[in-house]
Amino acid sequence: MPNYFVSGGEEDRVWKVETLQDGCYEVTAPSGKTYQVDAFAPDAGRLHLMLGNESWDLDVREDKSHTYHVQWRGQTFEHHVLNERQKRMEAATGGKRDVGPELLSPMAGKVVAVQVEAGQAVTEGQVLLIVEAMKMENDLKAHKSGIISELKAVQGEAVEVGDVLLTIADE
């Protein structure tokens, strides 16, 4: 399954990364051009890349929001790494990190668990619902902290991509 990273948080800067074998990756740039990259981590917080005849040593730090801060040649770049499911979820919300009050369904499926109720306080990252799609259960987490002001998702009911599942009001 490929991973994706978004350079600088901009939707037009999505790079696709597929593992070919241990330490060897195919990287597809936003332009569609592909590269074969060898990579290994000699130490925690360091990454060594080889692309053709070029070699790069990078310092990499991850923060609590899963943003990677990559330092190379005195400059720092931010990258958000997403797996296939997270990419679909970002696509369903327009690629925005601050998506407003509504939690939208990133997939078609069936709500198998509702773990919150209207009026309940929630924190960003807290599991709110579980949606089953293609025989896999997917935790849907709060995109922000606040109060559940409206709960539309019902356990056992089907949902489609983009359906409003609940609304989180600011505290």
Per-residue pLDDT tens for 38-47?
Answer: 998 888 888 8
The pLDDT score that the predictor gives to residue 75 is 80
The answer to whether residues 56 and 117 belong to one domain is no
Reported as a pLDDT band with limits 50, 70 and 90, residue 90 is low
**pLDDT 10s digits, 127-164:** 999 999 888 888 898 888 999 999 999 999 999 988 89
Residue 137, domain CATH: 2.40.50.100
Domain hosting residue 19, numbered range: 3-83
Q: Say if 108 falls within a structural domain.
A: yes
The answer to whether residues 66 and 105 belong to one domain is no
Q: Say if 50 falls within a structural domain.
A: yes
The answer to whether residues 66 and 26 belong to one domain is yes
Reported as a pLDDT band with limits 50, 70 and 90, residue 117 is very high
CB 16 within 8 A of CB 31: no
The answer to whether residues 73 and 102 belong to one domain is no
pTM: 0.47
Residue 8, domain CATH: 3.30.700.30
The pLDDT score that the predictor gives to residue 13 is 67
Percent share of the chain, pLDDT over 90: 29
The answer to whether residues 77 and 139 belong to one domain is no
Of 39, 54, 83, at which residue does a domain stop? 83
The answer to whether residues 69 and 119 belong to one domain is no
Of 83, 113, 137, at which residue does a domain stop? 83
The answer to whether residues 109 and 150 belong to one domain is yes
The answer to whether residues 73 and 123 belong to one domain is no
Give the lowest-confidence range in 16-20, 55-59, 82-86: 82-86
The answer to whether residues 17 and 78 belong to one domain is yes
Per-residue DSSP letters for 121-148?
EE-TT-EEEEEEETTEEEEEE-SS-EEE
Number of domains composing the chain: 2
Beta strands in 29-145 (DSSP E): 34-40, 46-51, 54-62, 67-72, 75-83, 102-104, 109-114, 121-122, 127-133, 136-141
Q: Say if 16 falls within a structural domain.
A: yes
